[in-house]
Chains A and B, each alone.
Chain A
């Protein structure tokens, strides 16, 4: 490859990624040359500026045709843009939350900010990759950054445990994914997703359809780990509890979104034409039942175990497992609304979950407790904060008028229109179970007496997160058409399969 070829690539399609990369590099350099004692808050603002620029670039790419660069390994299509928007906004919120997070607990706050950016970069690569290698690079970049972030509170035992567990489990999951991919490569001789897809009907593969099935499961298992779906969710409660709160928020929203984007793209593009066990049934139809069981289990385990938690971060870990279960439903149903369903729910989830985590961070900082009882009497202390938290909780529980409700309704619609009655019923039943624990927090906030009446101080940056998240949560509940129309205008279903 000479310079001319290199320059001939339309690099502008990677503008958002480059922005993040450059900002992360600069941040690490600044951090290196800054005095040890200097306040690293400004680094966060710089990171925020970088994310906003990347967001602008991504926005400008809306509606652009499918483009691929780097020998067709990296692609820009509406699918990638749609999910990148969520990743970027999510990271923006997390950065805003992280600015003044626990200055004593984290010694090297500089790395905190640029690790968030590298993790984001990993996520963005995942949504855009068209090749198993770039895809794996993105996945690992996100994972490695997350491992370190989970352990950032070096003097905290739980944080150490979290990082340790996360690395081991994550490493195993990556290995399993890679193992699955090796079969795909072995059978097809390609790493490019579209070339793999093209040779799926090859007689050699038709004869080895069980191997394809096997690799499908291996890959799915590895990726299921990323989205914390049962039964590969075991790491999440410990990691969520041990990580610094903004990191927990990042893992539960941004990392999960990237995981879902990857699952959707990879499994659909690669296996859409793959043969199943019998000639009539393609692989994706073949495996539906297994994924359905997995989705059902995820919803049930997540919601039921959450009932027993009294640590707020563990509770949200299980809540997040449960939500992963809901988002798996569209993938089972393979309905025409699959992408919209998933995207809309993830967007709703972004607002409601990040908003909730912002409140959790405030309450935890103020009370120094991670127990649910730390929320006792929040209404007396800071009525506004309690009400806004109630909005997020109502949305997470899926009660109208909220983004969470419309999201669930939409998924539910997709499930029923493809006649997945059992799965739909499980979804609704577990949603009702979730009322118990979400309203347990409400009960603490509104019904219990407060230990202190001192109002909780809300810094401006977190206030921005809270307000934007609340507007998003209620706004998408009242006018879901705004998001749905936006998605439909810029998203083309067929683009994902277009070379």
Chain B
């Protein structure tokens, strides 16, 4: 059966690009960029293949692979009756399928955005492809150890991509990225190993079942692991007050990497919370739903308020990301179908929208060498098409009906209003703030008097138009036909809800 290797093939297909790049002389700029891009098309094609073969009505995991990998339990340990083995296990449910698709799409578009990279293209693309392997693997891992491995694989390339190809303060940003995320994954590792030691398996499905079987005597253990997971994924998401590293990364990293970071890496936090937090500890999550909702509202309002007073376009978008991740938390906290659906929708939708916005910021920066709003202005005159799309992106982000942002916010708030109307009402204020800061920022950039030096800017190039059109296409598609996203998710969400008991 060829199908059973599909996931491995998909995850490791960027390796082919890395291998080819090894043999390309490092001054062949065009060649390297082309190969770098083509190498991301391969997983994209495979992801679409998987999607078309994906059975939306089947529950459980698909394209499952399982190989024996590390066996700790020979000899001595077996003599003591301890059985510990870690297998190489992959599989996809609806949530994973959707996120893999998102990853493949955003990665390909970010590879196009990488045309702006000015030096050492070879190293850049090799790290870029390695990063993609990590991201794809995270969503397909069926086992905590593998999840952790792929999660950590994203860490190293990101460190170098930020530290080497970023802007002026890049090294500082790279270091704070490394330390925060390093701490986050350290906490995660503790939680995972604690689960492993307790259950003797790293398989996610098996752990889910075993956790349900554990009685109240394991409550302390469960709480400990849950708190650790909240911190670990809270750093990644990021939840206030664990967010400061993410601002630096958004400002200092090259635009293509910010697309990836904001579009996908932040989503790993949400994915982890839904898959492990909700999956393993439904009862405990129910008890702290209020806390999560409040954290979500804080994220939402805090991010929105600070986005309002920023003067740098990148900072506005960075705080906007924090704010939008608040909506994910709100959706999770609602613990009903609408809420969780909203959270997942927001994950996908924000992935697309932030990729679009950061791509456009990159386009502007390429031409003006600045992203400070007071220095920009009136760009609609010289770059009408790019400015138009910037407005589209902003409108999608603030949740204009007909676009993906609306569906996600609507569902998340719908879910929360049903459970905690007061918290939801407070959170809803964030939507107003969002509209204000986004429109303010976008209008300041695009309208108003045009400074002389911006008169002769080149508008968006055809090649740059490709990612923009693809992203806008997806955003509108999800906005007007949400079933395309809801269908593959349906079964997975129902399983999660069954776990919660709803």
> Which positions in A face B, CB cutoff 8 Å?
336-337, 339-340, 379, 394, 399-401, 405-406, 409-410, 412-413, 416-417, 424-425, 428-429, 431-432, 435-436, 439, 442-443, 446-447, 480-481, 484-485, 487-489, 491-493
Contacts and interface: CB of A to CB of B under 8 A. Distances in A.
Contact of B178 (A412, A416, A439, A485): A439
A491 B75 contact: yes
B445 to A, nearest CB: 31
A336 B159 CA distance: 38
B197 interface: yes
Interface stretch (B183-191, B244-252, B267-275, B318-326): B183-191
Contacts of A413: 72, 84, 193, 196-197
A485 to B, nearest CB: 6
A424 B76 CA distance: 22
Given A399-B156, A484-B71, A336 B76 contact: yes
Contacts of B183: 432
A394 B160 CA distance: 13
A416 B225 CA distance: 13
B179 interface: yes
Interface in B43-82: 69-72, 74-77, 79-80, 82
B163 A337 contact: no
Given A412-B189, A485-B71, A340 B76 contact: yes
A432 B179 contact: yes
Contacts of B402: none
A317 B164 CA distance: 28
Interface string B164-188: 1000001100110011001100110
Nearest to B194: A416
B149 interface: yes
Contacts of B153: 400-401
Interface of B: 69-72, 74-77, 79-80, 82, 84, 123, 148-149, 152-153, 155-156, 159-160, 163-164, 170-171, 174-175, 178-179, 182-183, 186-187, 189-190, 193-194, 196-197
Contacts of B171: 443, 447
B71 A481 contact: yes
Contacts of B76: 336-337, 339-340, 488, 491, 493
B193 A416 contact: yes
B149 A400 contact: yes
Contact of B190 (A401, A425, A480): A425
Given A435-B182, A485-B74, A488-B74, 16 more contacts: A400-B148, A400-B153, A401-B149, A401-B153, A410-B72, A424-B193, A425-B190, A428-B190, A431-B186, A432-B186, A435-B178, A443-B174, A446-B160, A484-B70, A491-B76, A493-B75
A200 to B, nearest CB: 24
A424 B70 CA distance: 21
A443 to B, nearest CB: 6
B73 to A, nearest CB: 9
A-B pairs, top 8 by smallest CB distance, nearest first, are: A488-B75, A488-B74, A493-B76, A428-B186, A417-B197, A400-B149, A432-B182, A336-B80
A339 B75 CA distance: 12
A336 B77 contact: yes
A418 to B, nearest CB: 9
6 contacts: A336-B79, A413-B196, A416-B194, A428-B187, A439-B178, A447-B164
A487 B72 CA distance: 11
B82 A417 contact: yes
Contacts of B79: 336, 493
Contacts of A488: 74-76
Nearest to A482: B70
